[in-house]
Amino acid sequence: HFENATMAEENDRFAFIADWYDAAAALVRKFALMYFPRDGTVELVDMKSKKIFLKRSKVDGVQLENLFIGASLNIHARQLKLVDFADDYTRRSFGTQRERAVVLVKQADLGACGSIITQLTAKGLALVAARLGVIAPSDAEELIGTRDSPDFATLVGQLTDGPVLALEVLGVGAISIAGGIRAAYASPDTATAAHQAELAFGANSVVQPTPAFENSTLCLIKPHAVAEGNAGKIIDTIVGAGFGVGAIQTHTLDTASATEFLEVYKGVVAEYPALVQALTAGTSIAIEIVGDADVQQKFREFAGPTDPEIARHIRKDTLRAKFGRDKVLNGVHCTDLPEDAGLEVDYFFKILA
């Protein structure tokens, strides 16, 4: 149990244990992270020295729905991972109120996958993971679990006749909310959901991506857009514009990966350090956009100018005009040059996969 570092009453804040890898010292430092829901502020305390590391203040991107065990948070250029609850009150509160659910969108309903994601996030659920791929019959049977259901054979067939989008969501009433989505299969209970999440998103995932790796380009929905509940709307907009989707996969980039991916912009774009920090701020969604030989150019035009303010004036129907906030938090990253399209798709669907 971690002793309170502030004078706040216990029920005024939630406390977590967070790990931060200090590359300079080559060691993991542990912090107690306190989140105060009344005003959305955060405080960090070094658990070894018991000294306040970050005074209570607001941190962009840290919200109640983003707090769960396993979550990665970017706090002033440091990427912290929540590894445990720091007190019994937080453990009880999150254990009884927040639950996870797995949602499987069948091939016949993939055209509505953006709408389904929006329905889930609009009801307060956080999108934790997403993965588009094919599932073998034996894996589908284990994923569903309940063989005594009269729809078991039908559901196995639906999950194995083409690509399936697996989603993991977290929040209050997740099982009930996910179960209300008619166009998808959802976990019937929390125990099943935990098993399904491991099967779908664990190290040996049964959902096998099938990227085209040809006539394709990359769209990366940035963490701020995911946290703001815009991921489903962005996917809907992309599909509605006639672009094909070959693969979808969530990633939580660490600083090294984000730096490597954006290295081409180093020394070229003034916002480079902020761009790296923005990509490590939480969950991002990599999408392989497929089409004709000129799909990279077409999608880059569809994404719009990097500055959303300019986009809203001259290209108001583009993704960045609709979902961007500024030149760094501009909704999506897209491949800038035709020769980089294959490299960027490979990075997310081969190297990081």
Give the Å distances, CA to CA, from 314 to 50, 321, 327, 336.
Answer: 53, 9, 15, 19
HSE of 230, CA atoms in CB hemisphere, 13 A: 22
> What tens digit of pLDDT does each residue of 300-341 get?
999 999 999 999 999 999 999 999 999 999 999 999 999 999
pLDDT at 11: 57
C-alpha span between 260 and 59 (Å, rounded): 25
* Residue 336 φ/ψ, nearest 5 degrees: -85, -40
Cβ(295)–Cβ(218) under 8 Å? Answer: no
Q: Is 333 a catalytic residue?
A: yes
Query: Is the pLDDT reported for residue 74 higher than 90?
Result: no
> What tens digit of pLDDT does each residue of 159-189 get?
999 999 999 999 889 999 999 998 899 999 9
When pLDDT is cut at 50, 70 and 90, the band that residue 1 belongs to is: very low
Among 76, 195, 251, 333, the one annotated catalytic:
333
3-state helix, strand, coil in the chain (%, to 5): 40, 25, 35
